[in-house]
């Protein structure tokens, strides 16, 4: 992991305040006030890993949380200000994979793929690490700007699990921040890393999947080339190519109807409800 550079303002403001609240001192929860923003941050991850809990902690909103998989089925948006920058935070339904296709999982997949978030925070359950990494590795195929939130670390401690987050960060090539979101543990650090990542000040070397298959690699390269020609600026042609190879009907439909480009517009989700104004 690279070394963080404390910003000058942070250091100044920090001078007086007690150590734990220090980093949250310049976090302002803005609720649903989102007329403009500097960065969009997506919260993705397996179901029931604490995404909505994190969303609530940072926006001051009260998105419903519950201890079962599938509590969140629509996209919710909120805002926060950190130092002088405004972030739009997007809480997504939980998903096991970016390859699957139930309605609520598609919401998550489409946003990560085409919503062009500046940072994607993948919330991972420290007690079920392999499954979380399955999603992290897929996300890294799409975007470099990933921060892994290694959540439920309190439960991991109770289960006598020791997780070396530095080894993880080294292997994944992106920052990993251990947290217990529900107890506020690790949140200031996470926010700082997200902020740096958003500004592009965080060098990443994302882990590249090894499909161990030359024919597949060649096929993906060929299709991706064609796609980039047809949809200039498509951010993740390789991934779309893979989906086409897999005969993913919703992606084929999007290509046919020319909506692949539309999906890049952040407002292209008419069926999704925003969190009610409260």
Partner 1 sequence: MTLNQLGVGRKATVKKVYSESAERRRMLDLGILPGTVVETVMSSPLGDPVAYRIRSAVVALRREQAELIEVQENFTADEMESRG
Partner 2 sequence: MAANVEQLLETAARLRRETGDDLHGRITEAIYTDAGEIADRAVSRDETTPGGIHLDQFFDRVLTSRLWGFPLMVLMLMVVFWLTIAGANVPSAMLAQLLQGTVYDALHNAAQAVGAPWWLSGFLIDGVYLATAWVISVMLPPMAIFFPLFTLLEDLGYLPRVAFNLDRLFKRSGAHGKQSLTMMMGYGCNAAGVVSTRIIDSPRERLIAIITNNFSICNGRWPTLILIGTIFIGATAPPMLASFIAASSVVAVAILGIIFTLLVSAFLSRTWLKGEASSFSLELPPYRPPRIWQTIYTSIIDRTLIVLKRAVIMAAPAGAVVWLISNVYVGGDSVANHLIQWLDPVGLALGLNGVILLAYVVAIPANEIVVPTILMLTLNAAKSSLAQTGVMIELEDDAQIYQVLTQMGGWTFLTGMNLMLFSLLHNPCSTTIMTIWQETRSVKWTTVASLLPIGIGVVVCLLTATVARLLF
Ligand X SMILES: Nc1nc2c(ncn2[C@@H]2O[C@H](COP(=O)(O)OP(=O)(O)OP(=O)(O)O)[C@@H](O)[C@H]2O)c(=O)[nH]1
Under a CB-based contact definition with an 8 Å cutoff, are residues 163 and 126 in contact?
A: yes
Nearer to ligand X, 184 or 229 (CB): 184
Torsion over CA: 26, 177, 51, 266 (sign): positive
Under a CB-based contact definition with an 8 Å cutoff, are residues 112 and 92 in contact?
A: yes
When asked if residue 19 is in the footprint of partner 2 (CB under 8 A), the reply is no
Under a CB-based contact definition with an 8 Å cutoff, are residues 97 and 124 in contact?
A: no
CA distance linking residue 29 with residue 16, whole number of Å: 21
Q: Residues 87 to 116: which contact partner 1 by CB under 8 A?
A: 96-97, 99-101
CB atoms within 10 A of CB 217: 13
Q: Which residue is nearest to ligand X (CB)?
A: 94
53 binds, among partner 2, ligand X, Mg ion, none (CB under 5 to 8 A by kind): ligand X
Least separation in angstroms between CB 77 and Mg ion = 13
Number of residues interacting with Mg ion: please give it, by CB under 5 A: 4
CB atoms within 10 A of CB 84: 8
Nearer to Mg ion, 62 or 201 (CB): 62
Nearer to partner 1, 104 or 134 (CB): 134
Residue with tokens 């999603």: 135
Site string for ligand X, 120-159 (x = CB under 6 A): -------------------------------xx-xx----
Select the residue interacting with Mg ion from 23, 59, 72, 139 (CB under 5 A): 72
When asked if residue 59 is in the footprint of ligand X (CB under 6 A), the reply is no
Least separation in angstroms between CB 86 and Mg ion = 23
CA distance linking residue 174 with residue 12, whole number of Å: 28
Which three-class secondary structure state does DSSP give residue 65? coil
Under a CB-based contact definition with an 8 Å cutoff, are residues 251 and 240 in contact?
A: yes
Interface residue list for partner 1 (CB under 8 A) = 96-97, 99-101, 127-131, 134
Interface residue list for Mg ion (CB under 5 A) = 51-52, 71-72
């Amino acid at each position: 992991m690279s070394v963080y550079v404390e910003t000058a303002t942070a250091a100044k403001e920090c001078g007086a305040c007690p150590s734990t609240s220090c980093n949250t001192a310049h976090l302002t929860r803005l609720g649903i006030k989102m007329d403009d923003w500097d960065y969009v941050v997506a919260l993705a991850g397996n179901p029931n890993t604490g995404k909505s809990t994190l969303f609530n902690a940072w926006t001051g909103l009260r998105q419903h949380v519950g201890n079962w998989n599938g509590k969140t089925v629509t996209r919710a948006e909120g805002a926060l200000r950190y130092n002088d920058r405004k972030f739009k935070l997007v809480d997504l339904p939980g998903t096991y994979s970016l390859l699957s296709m139930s309605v609520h999982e598609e919401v998550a997949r489409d946003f990560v793929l085409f919503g062009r978030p500046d940072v994607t925070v993948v919330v991972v359950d420290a007690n079920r690490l392999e499954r979380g990494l399955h999603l992290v590795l897929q996300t890294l195929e799409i975007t470099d700007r990933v921060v892994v939130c290694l959540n439920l670390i309190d439960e991991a401690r109770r289960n006598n699990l020791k997780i070396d987050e530095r080894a993880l960060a080294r292997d994944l090539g992106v920052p990993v921040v251990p947290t217990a979101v529900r107890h506020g543990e690790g949140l200031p650090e996470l926010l700082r890393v997200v902020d740096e990542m958003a500004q592009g000040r965080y060098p990443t070397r994302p882990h590249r999947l090894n499909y161990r298959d030359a024919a597949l690699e060649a096929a993906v390269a060929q299709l991706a080339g064609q796609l980039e020609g047809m949809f200039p600026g498509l951010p993740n042609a390789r991934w779309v190519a893979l989906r086409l190879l897999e005969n993913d009907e919703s992606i084929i439909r999007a290509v046919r109807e020319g909506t692949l480009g539309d999906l890049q517009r952040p407002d292209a989700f008419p069926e999704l409800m925003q969190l009610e104004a409260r």
